[in-house]
């Protein structure tokens, strides 16, 4: 009875959502399944360098599952320390990013009219220039005969150049620098929506500005804090460019480890296992992000 | 709202300095004659010689051209897919597969690139083994990869713009006799047009700038600009890279300034119109 | 004007369920050509869902809808001879006023000149002739409403659905627009179905109205019928203000016309036979404006006893002065408060009954409506 109306619009809808759904299934979901399968494979001297994913033995599809890669990862200290180090770096960087980004977002959200647009533009502009080049810029600043050392020596504050490159410090700087807009924008989107009347009510009830901030503004901004922090933390765990250009050589982050396993050692199954393990570590933050963050990203732009 | 106290404003100042110091330092030293980049050679600087070298560097120019072509195609593809996704998520209510789609749209926003890159390369290789296509990695695989992760960004931008619009606009159009296709063409698309533009620009930037994923899915013959730059800077600073960076910053800055001025002009016009309307209020 | 021969819109046993929630519960309704029919109800009453089913944006879970004899079940909104005016007006922000109005005609593939002519005509009807080139954001609220109306009428629909048409307007504008709507409807002969939560709006606009509650139609009638003869306590209370007195039916088999009411401290006599059984609990609904209030007992009664009929005694507790009338809150001996509305016929405040005065309330036998639910 109501068939025609429903089926016609249903068909159109299926097309609209079907195309991107199909694309994403094939080019986003399926690859992960392949990585998963490969992580259970063995290396072979072949092109590509792994045992076939699916073998047909007597007409029946046969798949071998080796957990040797995972066993290796769990027991070899190099990998364990790489994972832990990556988590540590990501957490610390996120924290500094939040410390720096929150006040900035706060000021921008409370700025009036033109000022607000100008400030937003200033914050967003670096994002549109090359990420790679901006990280590169830090090399010039941090190296032994780089800008910072030159200035400090010129001013007589130090007599020997500080070692800033290839340290944890450099990686924190690099990550905070690159991801700052990702922290500021969700925070701004959240803070901008706050009702000024609430702060006025707090003042009316006797709260001093700082108290009002802690008891009124801060709690309301928690969703923004979570969204911004996850937007920084999750990719930071697997960062590759920043530690490659600025980071330590004695302790690698997991992104670098994965890349090395893949490109240098040609051990694709192991690299896959590294990736899957990284994913498992990040699954909960990713789900948290999808739950809360999606909404926070919406306001700006 | 009141303006903020001195503390956060100081931090803002520090933050902005932090954001721009490296960029400015890069730009300044692009004029430095010394190959050491950061040691100012006052005798022979400032100079434009690195810009000249840049323009004569075929490797860099070729890579830049490749990157531009890839970014143009990838951005356009991402806008198409992203718009469909954004419309579906914003307007279709609950449907089977929605959670999956939401997941696949938000995950790329945070997924570490090494994972995505690895996964995509393995997909292409498996596909090649199974059906013989793609014939090795190269421009095509890079484009496919870029479209995939850029779609998520476009989807978010489009969805958020659509969500801000009254659904009854589209219902009104249906009510007035327009079939769904017409509604999409004459009502939905014009309304999300700004989101499409910013989504396209966003995708272009992301594609043009991408290193990690591209490294995985690029073949021996294809070197994009980020790949060329990366191999150079791994070895240390290089003045022609400074020159390149300066050019890019200036391009982007003028682009943003122009669009900001344009938006301001639009805003002013709207204000004027609203005042006209209020004055003519009956 | 109203063609009672055959219902123009027939809603037959229509229900709409969203999961477990029943938004519209087995509604059957006939609406006749040329009338303005109002669906009145609070939020969640199902009125908007019913309207959307008429427009075609929701499909009924069961039952069917017929417009001019044609079953609308398989007909999508863009093929129905029905147009809707949205509560938010839903004017297309990127199109001018002219293009907004012309949109419906463009879907009919009319010629450019024809469209221009008709758009011009319609703009004149809604008195917005000079505003053709403006965009919606350049118009005030009242102007936007007129454009929305013009846009929905230009296709000469047989049925126009209006979703809370006056909700966004301020009071003065609302009154003005109410009459304009009625005039336009009469001039064009379109059947209107209006959805509203505002009873004043419903009473002013409609030729007939239906009260909805929890997805069901609880009463249908003219505004006067519904106001003066509500079918249930809910309806009596929902429309206007009312005093509800609970009591037991007194009575003798033949002459059952009296109700003992302890709250009032008297007996209520009505002018018709009560079908309920003896001692059954009923409620008598008396509107505030139907109650007389005097300083002395009426009809020369010496005093008021529990057996007195249709007279009660109380003290004025509060007065709300509203200019043309005053609402008095009278506390009876039992403690119960009664609302009485009196016109302020005396200009002099001294002459009017004041606070804390002892008063006597009385009413005609025809005034109470006896309700059993």
pLDDT digits (tens, 9 = 90+) for B211-242: 999 999 997 778 999 999 999 888 877 888 88
pLDDT in tens, A62-112: 666 778 888 888 888 889 999 999 999 999 999 999 999 999 999 999 888
Residue C169 neighbours by CB distance under 10 Å: 16
Kindly give the residue spans of alpha helices, DSSP state H, lying in chain B: 6-29, 49-56, 58-91, 98-110, 113-131, 139-163, 168-175, 180-183, 189-209, 212-217, 225-233, 239-279
Report the percentage of chain B scoring pLDDT > 90.
42
pLDDT higher than threshold 80 for residue A53: no
Q: Is C143 on the interface with B (CB under 8 A)?
A: yes
Distance from CA of B199 to the nearest CA of C (A): 20
CA A168 to chain centre: 18
Q: How far apart are CA A258 and CA A270, in angstroms?
A: 8
Chain A residues interacting with chain C (CB cutoff of 8 angstroms): 1-6, 8-9
Residues in chain B: 282
pTM, two decimal places: 0.83
Taking an 8 Å cut-off on Cβ atoms, the answer to whether B15 and A104 are in contact is yes
Given a contact as 3+ CB pairs under 8 Å, which chains touch B?
A, C
Taking an 8 Å cut-off on Cβ atoms, the answer to whether B175 and C77 are in contact is yes
Q: How far apart are CA A164 and CA B64, in angstroms?
A: 32
Q: How far apart are CA C211 and CA B133, in angstroms?
A: 66
Among chain C residues, CA nearest to B176: C104
Q: Is C172 on the interface with B (CB under 8 A)?
A: no
**Which residue in B95, B100, B234 is closest to A244 by CB distance?**
B234
Q: How many CA atoms lie within 13 A of C204 on its CB side?
A: 18
Distance from CA of B282 to the nearest CA of A (A): 30
Question: What pLDDT is attached to residue A295?
Answer: 59
Contact residues, chain C, for B171 at CB < 8 Å? 55, 57, 77, 84, 86, 90
Taking an 8 Å cut-off on Cβ atoms, the answer to whether C107 and B172 are in contact is no
Taking an 8 Å cut-off on Cβ atoms, the answer to whether A5 and C60 are in contact is no
Q: Is C79 on the interface with B (CB under 8 A)?
A: yes
DSSP H or E run through A121: helix A113-128
Among chain B residues, CA nearest to A125: B253
Distance from CA of C88 to the nearest CA of B (A): 8
Q: How many CA atoms lie within 13 A of A83 on its CB side?
A: 17
Q: Give residue A154's pLDDT band: very low, low, confident or very high (50, 70, 90).
A: confident
Question: What pLDDT is attached to residue C147?
Answer: 94
Question: What pLDDT is attached to residue B239?
Answer: 86
Question: What pLDDT is attached to residue B281?
Answer: 55
Regarding beta strands C216-221 and C208-213, do their DSSP bridges make them parallel or antiparallel, or are they unpaired?
Answer: antiparallel
Inter-chain Cβ pairs, chain A and chain B, closer than 8 A: 278
Cβ neighbours of residue A66 closer than 8 Å, sequence gap 6 or more: A40, A41, A42, A269
DSSP H or E run through C210: strand C208-213
The list of chain B residues with pLDDT below 70 reads 1-3, 277-278, 280-282
Taking an 8 Å cut-off on Cβ atoms, the answer to whether A5 and C59 are in contact is yes
Taking an 8 Å cut-off on Cβ atoms, the answer to whether B144 and A294 are in contact is no
Torsions phi, psi for C293 (to 5 deg): -130, 125
Q: How far apart are CA B248 and CA B208, in angstroms?
A: 11
- Per the listing, tokens 């080019």 go with A27
Among chain B residues, CA nearest to C142: B282
Question: What pLDDT is attached to residue A293?
Answer: 57
Q: A64: which DSSP letter?
A: -
- Per the listing, tokens 């949205």 go with C86
Taking an 8 Å cut-off on Cβ atoms, the answer to whether A132 and B234 are in contact is no
Is residue C62 helix, strand or coil? strand
Q: How far apart are CA B137 and CA B234, in angstroms?
A: 24
Is residue C82 helix, strand or coil? strand
Specify burial of residue B275 (Cβ count, 10 A radius: 0-12, 13-18, 19+): exposed
The list of chain C residues with pLDDT below 50 reads none
Asked whether C311 and C298 are in contact (CB, 8 A), the reply is yes
Whole-number Cα distances in Å, C372 to A191, C202, C232, C279, C281: 56, 25, 7, 13, 8
Distance from CA of B6 to the nearest CA of C (A): 39
DSSP H or E run through C244: strand C243-250
Among chain A residues, CA nearest to B232: A136
Q: How far apart are CA B74 and CA B204, in angstroms?
A: 7
Distance from CA of C9 to the nearest CA of A (A): 18
pLDDT higher than threshold 90 for residue A208: no
Regarding beta strands C258-261 and C311-321, do their DSSP bridges make them parallel or antiparallel, or are they unpaired?
Answer: unpaired
Q: How far apart are CA C84 and CA B169, in angstroms?
A: 12
pLDDT in tens, A210-262: 888 898 899 999 999 999 999 999 999 999 999 999 999 999 999 999 999 88
Q: Give residue A135's pLDDT band: very low, low, confident or very high (50, 70, 90).
A: very high
Which domains, and CATH codes, for chain A?
70-298 (1.10.3720.10)
Among chain B residues, CA nearest to C82: B175
**Which residue in A35, A104, A111 is closest to B118 by CB distance?**
A35
Question: What pLDDT is attached to residue B71?
Answer: 96
Residues in chain C: 373
Question: What pLDDT is attached to residue B209?
Answer: 92
Q: How far apart are CA A78 and CA A81, in angstroms?
A: 5
- Per the listing, tokens 């240390």 go with B236
pLDDT higher than threshold 70 for residue A54: no
Q: How far apart are CA A66 and CA A40, in angstroms?
A: 5
Taking an 8 Å cut-off on Cβ atoms, the answer to whether B191 and C140 are in contact is no
Asked whether A34 and B126 are in contact (CB, 8 A), the reply is yes
Closest CA to C372 of C233, C258, C198, C257: C233
Q: Give residue A55's pLDDT band: very low, low, confident or very high (50, 70, 90).
A: low
- Per the listing, tokens 């969640």 go with C44
As given in the structure block, the two tokens for residue C155 are: 């296709």
Q: How far apart are CA A103 and CA A119, in angstroms?
A: 13
Q: How far apart are CA C49 and CA A46, in angstroms?
A: 65
Closest CA to C190 of C156, C226, C225, C232: C156
Among chain A residues, CA nearest to B77: A20
Q: How far apart are CA A278 and CA A257, in angstroms?
A: 11
Question: What pLDDT is attached to residue B138?
Answer: 85
pLDDT in tens, C154-210: 998 989 999 999 888 888 888 888 988 999 899 888 999 999 999 888 998 999 999
Question: What pLDDT is attached to residue A3?
Answer: 41
Closest CA to C338 of C289, C270, C297: C289
**Which residue in B2, B114, B163 is closest to A240 by CB distance?**
B114
Chain C residues interacting with chain A (CB cutoff of 8 angstroms): 56, 59-60, 64, 73-76
CA B89 to chain centre: 21
Buried b (16+ CB within 10 A) or exposed e, A187-221: bbbbbbebeeeebeebeeeebeeeebbeebbeeeb
Which domains, and CATH codes, for chain B?
42-236 (1.10.3720.10)
Question: What pLDDT is attached to residue A301?
Answer: 35
Question: What pLDDT is attached to residue A1?
Answer: 32
Distance from CA of C95 to the nearest CA of B (A): 9
Question: What pLDDT is attached to residue A31?
Answer: 93
Whole-number Cα distances in Å, B216 to B219, C17, C168, C317: 8, 52, 58, 85
Question: What pLDDT is attached to residue A299?
Answer: 42
Q: How far apart are CA A180 and CA A223, in angstroms?
A: 17
Question: What pLDDT is attached to residue C4?
Answer: 53
Report the percentage of chain C scoring pLDDT > 70.
98
Question: What pLDDT is attached to residue A101?
Answer: 94
Q: How many CA atoms lie within 13 A of A177 on its CB side?
A: 29
Given a contact as 3+ CB pairs under 8 Å, which chains touch C?
A, B
Asked whether A81 and A251 are in contact (CB, 8 A), the reply is yes
Q: How many CA atoms lie within 13 A of C179 on its CB side?
A: 4
Q: Read out DSSP for A218-237?
A: HHHTHHHHHHHHHHHHHHHH
Taking an 8 Å cut-off on Cβ atoms, the answer to whether A2 and C59 are in contact is yes
Q: How far apart are CA A32 and CA A35, in angstroms?
A: 5
- Per the listing, tokens 């030729």 go with C207
pLDDT in tens, B180-211: 889 989 999 898 898 899 899 999 999 999 99
Among chain C residues, CA nearest to B171: C57
Contact residues, chain B, for A103 at CB < 8 Å? 7-8, 11-12, 15
């Amino acid at each position: 009875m109501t068939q025609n109306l429903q089926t016609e619009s249903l068909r159109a809808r299926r097309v609209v959502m079907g195309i991107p759904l199909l694309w994403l299934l094939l080019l986003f979901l399926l690859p992960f399944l392949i990585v998963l399968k490969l992580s259970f494979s063995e290396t072979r001297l072949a092109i590509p360098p792994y045992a076939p994913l699916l073998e047909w033995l007597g007409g029946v599809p046969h798949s071998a599952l080796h957990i040797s890669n995972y066993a290796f990862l769990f027991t070899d200290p190099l990998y364990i320390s790489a994972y832990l180090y990556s988590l540590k770096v990501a957490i610390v960087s996120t924290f500094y990013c939040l410390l720096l980004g929150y006040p900035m977002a706060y000021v921008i959200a409370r700025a009036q009219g033109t000022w607000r647009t100008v400030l937003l533009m200033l914050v967003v502009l670096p994002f549109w220039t090359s990420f790679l080049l901006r990280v590169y810029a830090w090399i010039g600043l941090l190296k032994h005969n780089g800008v910072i050392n030159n200035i400090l020596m010129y001013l007589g504050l130090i007599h020997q150049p500080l070692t800033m490159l290839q340290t944890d410090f450099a990686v924190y700087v690099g990550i905070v620098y690159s991801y700052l807009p990702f922290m500021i924008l969700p925070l701004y989107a959240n803070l901008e929506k706050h009702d000024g009347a609430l702060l006025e009510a707090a003042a009316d009830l006797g709260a001093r500005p700082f108290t009002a901030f802690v008891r009124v503004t801060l709690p309301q901004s928690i969703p923004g804090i979570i969204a911004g922090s996850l937007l920084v933390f999750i990719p930071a765990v697997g960062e590759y460019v920043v530690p490659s250009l600025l980071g330590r050589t004695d302790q690698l982050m997991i992104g670098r480890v994965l890349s090395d396993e893949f490109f240098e050692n040609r051990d694709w199954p192991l690299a896959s296992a590294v990736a899957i393990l990284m994913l498992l570590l990040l699954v909960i933050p990713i789900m948290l992000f999808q739950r809360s963050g999606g909404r926070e990203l919406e306001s700006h732009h | 709202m009141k303006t903020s106290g001195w503390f956060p404003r100081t931090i803002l100042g520090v933050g902005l300095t932090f954001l721009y110091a490296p960029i400015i330092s890069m730009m300044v030293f692009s004029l430095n004659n010394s190959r050491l980049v950061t040691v100012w050679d006052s005798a022979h600087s400032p100079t434009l010689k690195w810009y000249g070298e840049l323009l004569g560097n075929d490797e860099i120019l070729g890579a830049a051209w490749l990157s531009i072509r890839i970014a143009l195609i990838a951005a356009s593809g991402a806008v198409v897919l992203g718009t469909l996704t954004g419309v579906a998520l914003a307007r279709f209510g609950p449907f089977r597969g929605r959670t999956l789609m939401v997941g696949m749209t938000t995950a790329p926003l945070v997924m570490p690139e090494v994972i995505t890159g690895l996964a995509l390369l393995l997909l292409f290789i498996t596909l090649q083994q199974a059906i013989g296509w793609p014939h090795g990695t190269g421009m095509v695989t890079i484009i496919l990869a870029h479209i995939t992760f850029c779609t998520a960004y476009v989807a978010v931008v489009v969805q958020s713009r659509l969500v801000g619009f009254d659904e009854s606009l589209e219902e009104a159009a249906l009510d007035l006799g327009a079939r769904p296709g017409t509604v999409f063409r004459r009502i939905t698309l014009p309304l999300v047009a700004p989101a499409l533009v910013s989504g396209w620009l966003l995708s272009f930037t992301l594609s043009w700038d991408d290193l990690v994923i591209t490294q995985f899915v690029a073949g021996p013959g294809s070197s994009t600009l980020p790949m060329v730059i990366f191999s150079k800077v791994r070895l240390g600073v290089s003045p022609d890279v400074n020159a390149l960076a300066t050019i890019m910053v200036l391009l982007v800055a003028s682009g943003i300034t122009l669009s900001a001025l344009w938006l301001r002009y639009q805003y002013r016009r709207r204000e004027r119109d609203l005042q006209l309307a209020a004055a003519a209020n009956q | 004007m109203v063609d009672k021969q055959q219902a123009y819109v027939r809603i037959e046993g229509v229900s709409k369920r969203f999961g477990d929630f029943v938004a519209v519960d087995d509604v059957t309704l006939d609406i006749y050509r040329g009338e303005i029919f109002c669906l009145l109800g609070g939020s969640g009453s199902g009125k908007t869902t019913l309207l959307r089913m008429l427009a075609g944006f929701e499909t009924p879970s069961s039952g069917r809808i017929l417009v001019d004899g044609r079953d609308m079940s398989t007909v999508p909104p863009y093929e129905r001879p029905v147009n809707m005016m949205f509560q938010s007006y839903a004017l297309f922000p990127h199109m001018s006023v002219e293009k907004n109005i012309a949109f419906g005609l463009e879907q009919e593939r009319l010629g450019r000149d024809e469209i221009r002519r008709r758009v011009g005509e319609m703009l004149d009807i809604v008195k917005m002739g000079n505003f053709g080139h403006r965009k919606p954001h350049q118009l005030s609220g009242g102007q936007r409403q007129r454009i929305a109306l013009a846009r929905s009428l230009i296709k000469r629909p047989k049925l126009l659905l209006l979703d809370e048409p006056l909700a966004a307007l301020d009071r003065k504008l609302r009154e003005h627009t109410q009459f304009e709507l009625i005039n336009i409807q009469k001039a064009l002969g379109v059947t209107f179905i209006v959805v509203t939560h505002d009873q004043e709006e419903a009473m002013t606009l409609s030729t007939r109205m239906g009260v909805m509650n929890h997805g069901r139609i609880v009463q249908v009638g003219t505004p006067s019928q519904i106001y003066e003869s509500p079918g249930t306590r809910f309806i009596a209370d929902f429309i206007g203000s009312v005093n509800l007195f609970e009591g037991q039916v007194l009575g003798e088999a033949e002459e059952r016309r009296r109700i003992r009411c302890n709250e009032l401290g008297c007996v209520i006599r009505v002018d018709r036979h009560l079908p309920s059984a003896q001692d059954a609990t009923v409620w008598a609904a008396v509107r505030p404006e139907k109650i007389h209030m005097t300083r002395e007992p009426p009809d020369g009664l010496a005093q008021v006893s529990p057996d007195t009929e249709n007279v009660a005694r109380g003290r004025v507790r509060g007065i709300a002065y509203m200019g043309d009338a005053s609402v008095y809150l009278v506390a009876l001996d039992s403690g119960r408060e009664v609302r009485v509305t009196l016109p302020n016929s005396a200009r002099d405040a001294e002459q009017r009954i004041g606070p804390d005065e002892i008063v006597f309330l009385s009413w005609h036998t025809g005034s109470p409506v006896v309700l059993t639910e």
